[in-house]
Amino acid sequence: MSKCFSGNEAVAYAMKQINPDVMGAFPITPSTEIPEYFAEYVANGEVNTEYVTVESEHSSMSVCIAAQAAGARAVSATSSCGLALMYELLYVAASCRLPITLACANRALSGPININNDHSDSMGARDTGWIQIYAENNQEAYDNFIMAMPIGETLSVRLPVMTCMDGFITSHAVENIELLETDVVRKFIGEYHPEHYLLKKENPLAVGPYDISSYYMEHKVMQAEAMKSAKARIREVASDFEKISGRHYDLFEAYKMADAELALVLIGSSAGTAKAAVDMLRDNGIKAGLIKIRVFRPFPAEELALALSNTKAVAVMDKSEGFSSNGGPVFAETRSALYDLKKRPHLINIVYGLGGRDLKTEDVEKVFSRLADIAVTGEASPVYTHMGQRQRSTT
Amino acid sequence: MNTVYDLKREVEKPARLTGGHRLCAGCGAGIVVSGVLRALEPEDRAVVVNATSCLEVSTFMYPYTAYMDSYIHSAFENSAATCSGVEAAYNALKRRGKVEGTFKFITFAGDGGTYDIGFQSLSGAMERGHDMVYVCYDNEAYMNTGTQRSSSTPAFARTTTSAVGSAQHGKIQNKKDLTEILVAHNIPYVAQTAPIGNLKDLHTKAHKAIYTEGPCFVNILSPCPRGWGYPMAKLAEIMKLAVDTCVWPLYEVEEGVWRLSYMPKKKLPVEDFLRAQNRFSHMFEKGNEWMIEEAQKYVNQKWERLLDHTGA
């Protein structure tokens, strides 16, 4: 079934098909439409979800944690400062091993306040213990949300999943997408049967202890192990999903990488722009390629190193500024992943697109042109730069 | 519920908060929690929700829980939202035939987690109308971190962030009247109580709160020997003094109707309550008589207002 949906409607529609037990709902631009669409499904009796219209994102995540611990499937949606307000609870959700599903329409963080897209919100939450899956477009936003529960709920994983899409660019742009039939989605997701939960009459459960130093470390190691096992599960679910949808997914998408000498690594909707630029460069005989990271947590380090092992120069494009003074988060992870390669490509980092600053195909071409120079000269300095900003007047 | 309250029968029920928890001797919290949980009908299950607090770290230190019922702690400021999430899950799972029996949802949080950092979460949950009980065990300061002032701390009280010196005499502001703020939420049941005497008042109010449909709030005074500065054995006496001086009146508001639960035979001077605690010791130094006068004036004002509300 083909439908013309915005990214927000695509995610809301996936939620409707799943018919979760509980939804924590709170508005924030640009994810607001998700709870709005869902409110209509509730009002029309199309779902029988307990729709909890909380007074803050802090409470929506608190509701999700409690509901999931109680034995229910809980979902929510947020953006930017809303995700930041959830920050403390994101850790609680992950450490309690509660497979909540959260849709994030990525938006810049304040301040200054800005409602447009970049990845500073979810990148700020990258170490909270959540699985993070990023979409390039509306179709992927829909597909990723449907794959989230079978990933997070698996016994070897039991972690919350954040599915991210670019605010406005994806959340509000309308595209034709392919939808699965609701019964197919329901069958794919299956029933949620946690082993232990608060409302299990015959066996009460206590959640959220004071954990002293004699136990805390063990719990954190178990959490780290769960994140490691998530990688295999993500691939397994992608393979099952391909059988029902015909759409192929992996930890990242390697676009024209087989013989690529120059490559970009980036996340999200910019991949569309970058692919167009790669195509043009290929037409001119330049061996350009692209890695679009889909799964940022767990980070596909070995796979990425392998995919980049035959390149000469690589630009990692970060759509968030980490203020480390040493490059953005995608760069830090990628550079670390490549360290063990016997022959490493030259690597640069470009921070771009902050607060909704556009990325054009010309911009991408400029990056490839710099990579071409680096491949010849071996001179990558300065390694960490910003792109797209006005230059300050020197007078 | 049996209509006649019988303390002996009540305390013979299997304890839902078991012994062996780590609360201090002379602390009110354990009595409050076991008293409230005793009001559950034996056949009903509960999910106990707890804000980060002395109570939480003392009753659920991994791998031991003191609760016979299910329990969840998530953070300091979100216990009401947490309780509403459990209740929402219960409604959804009941509707889908996935949960058996009757569950009740009871939150316990201190005054820091209720009057201050958890205030928004509480107000939101009450407005949404979840079928839950929120119990504040009010010990009038952040005791878990070592007695810092909260908006529940009364004027003149010495805490580690409202010090007593030549330029300041303990807490400057009066205690926030949270019970009245909850009354203004127009919820079905709001009560103020304390674990005094044979615990009948606490039991009756807890039972009413648990078995009244919709959001209910019970504010329970819960002295802290370390923060208030009284000998552990004096707990019951301190609580009785709080009530007999009208510092902490016992009342309830049911569907908007105010009712005074206890009229002291003789209203004792506030001084009697203050003198029993170290946190007010500076008020008894020479030249500080005005502090006691001010404290008395404030209590009188509040008490008169309550009598107006209740028509007592």
Contact at CB, B62 and A215, closer than 8 angstroms: yes
CB atoms under 10 Å from CB of B51, counted, come to 31
Please indicate, yes or no, if residue A395 is contained in any of the structural domains: no
Q: Is residue A238 part of a domain?
A: yes
| Stated length of chain B | 312
Which residue segment(s) compose the domain that B303 sits in?
A: 7-310
B80 is a domain residue: yes
In this structure, the answer to whether residues A230 and A300 fall within a common structural domain is: no
| pTM exceeding the 0.95 threshold for the entire prediction | yes
| Chain A residue with the nearest C-alpha to that of B71 | A206
- What's the rounded Cα separation, in Å, for the pair A103 and B280? 52
Shortest Cα–Cα distance, B251 to chain A (Å): 29
Print the domain residue range for A352: 252-386
Q: Is B140 left (phi over 0), alpha (psi -120 to 50) or beta?
A: left
Q: Which residues of B touch A199 (CB under 8 A)?
A: 47, 70, 86, 89-90, 93, 99, 103
Q: What would the mean pLDDT of A57-74 be, rounded to a whole number?
A: 98
Q: Are A123 and A270 part of one and the same domain?
A: no
d(CA A92, CA A353): 31
Predicted pLDDT at B69? 98
**Does one domain contain both A274 and A382?**
yes
**Distance, CA of B228 to CA of A106 (rounded, Å):** 49
Residue A138 pLDDT greater than 70, yes or no: yes
Chain A CB contacts of B127 under 8 Å are: 55
State whether residue B14 sits within 8 Å of chain A by CB: no
Residue A46 confidence (pLDDT): 98
A282 CB-contact burial (10 Å; exposed 0-12 / middle 13-18 / buried 19+) = middle
B204: CB partners within 8 A, 6+ apart? B5
Q: Which residues of A touch B104 (CB under 8 A)?
A: none
3 state SS of A361: helix
- Looking at residue A392, its pLDDT comes to 84
pLDDT band at A395 (very low <50, low <70, confident <90, very high): low
Whether residue B155 lies inside any domain: the answer is: yes
For residue A177, what are the CA distances in angstroms to A4, A137, A247, B244? Answer: 6, 9, 12, 71
Structure tokens at A383: 């390694």
CA gap A381, A384 in Å, rounded: 8
Q: Looking at residue B289, which CATH number applies to its domain?
A: 3.40.50.970
Q: What would the two tokens of residue A274 be?
A: 């970058």
- The CB density around residue A149, as the number of other CB atoms within 10 Å, is 22
Cβ-count burial of A347 within 10 angstroms (0-12 exposed, 13-18 middle, 19+ buried)?
buried
| B109 to A332, B37, B132, B217: CA distances (angstroms) | 42, 14, 14, 11
- Alpha-carbon separation of residue A180 from A10, A14, A78, A359 (angstroms): 11, 9, 24, 32
Domain boundary among A194, A225, A245: A245
Pair (A107, A19) in one structural domain: yes
Confidence of residue A299 (pLDDT cuts 50, 70, 90): very high
Q: What percent of chain A has pLDDT over 70?
A: 99
Nearest to B137 by CA among B104, B107, B175, B169: B107
Q: Where are the alpha helices (DSSP H) in chain A?
A: 7-18, 33-43, 57-69, 80-95, 120-124, 138-152, 182-189, 213-245, 270-283, 301-308, 329-338, 361-377
Q: Which helix (H) or strand (E) holds A232?
A: helix A213-245
Domain match, A174 and A268 both: no
Rounded CA gap, A220 and A129, in Å?
Answer: 10
In a domain, B2, yes or no: no
The yes/no answer to whether this complex scores an ipTM above 0.95 is: yes
- Residue at A142: amino acid letter: Y
Structural domain tally of chain A?
Answer: 2
Question: Would residue B149 count as lying in a domain?
Answer: yes
Q: Which residues of chain B have pLDDT under 50?
A: 1
Tell me: do A356 and A240 sit in the same domain: no
Q: How many domains does chain B have?
A: 1
- Say if CB B133 and CB B50 are below 8 A apart: no
Same domain, A70 and A182: yes
Same domain flag for A38 and A69: yes
* Å between B149 CA and nearest CA of chain A: 24
Q: Are residue A306 and residue A344 in the same domain, yes or no?
A: yes
The reply to whether B89 touches chain A by the CB within 8 Å rule is yes
Tokens of B146: 């070592």
Nearest to A73 by CA among A54, A43, A98: A98
For residue A351, give the amino acid letter. Answer: V
Residues in chain A with CB shorter than 8 Å from the CB of B62 are 209-212, 215
| Residue of B141, B84, B129, B128 lying closest to B107 (CA atoms) | B84
B177 part of a folded domain: yes
> How far off is chain B from A97, nearest CA to CA, in Å?
12
pLDDT value of residue A114 = 98
Q: Name the pLDDT band for A393 (thresholds 50, 70, 90).
A: confident
Structure token digits, residue A67? 């509901």
Q: Is residue B14 part of a domain?
A: yes
Phi, psi of B152 (to 5 degrees): -95, -15
Chains A & B: contacts with CB separation below 8 Å: 163
Dump pLDDT digits (tens) for B242-276: 999 999 999 999 999 999 999 999 999 999 999 99
Do A9 and A149 fall into the same domain?
yes
Q: End of a domain among A203, A223, A245?
A: A245
Kindly report the CATH number assigned to the domain that includes residue A291.
3.40.50.920
CATH code, A32: 3.40.50.970
Choosing from A230, A245, A260, the residue where a domain stops is: A245
CB distance A85 to A110 below 8 Å: no
- pLDDT for B292 equals 98
**pLDDT higher than threshold 70 for residue A336:** yes
Judge contact between B263 and B239, C-beta under 8 A. no
- Rounded CA-CA distance B228/B213 in Å is 36
Contact B70, B46 (CB under 8 A): yes
Average pLDDT over residues A273-279: 98
Check residue B3 and give its pLDDT.
65
Instruction: DSSP letter for B234, please.
Output: G
Tokens, residue A80: 């930017």
Closest by CA position to A145, among listed A281, A309, A331, A9: A9
Q: Let me know whether A39 and A181 are in one domain.
A: yes
Give the pLDDT of residue B247: 98
- Going A165 to A168 to A171 to A173, the CA torsion angle's sign is negative
What pLDDT was estimated at residue A168?
Answer: 98
In a domain, A391, yes or no: no
Q: Which residues 69-88 on chain B approach chain A with CB closer than 8 angstroms?
A: 69-75, 77-78, 81-86, 88
Flag whether pLDDT at A226 surpasses 70: yes
In a domain, B280, yes or no: yes
**C-beta of residue A365 within 8 angstroms of C-beta of residue A275:** no
Residue of chain B whose alpha carbon sits nearest to that of A203: B70
Is B95 inside a domain boundary?
yes
Q: Which tokens belong to A386?
A: 């910003």
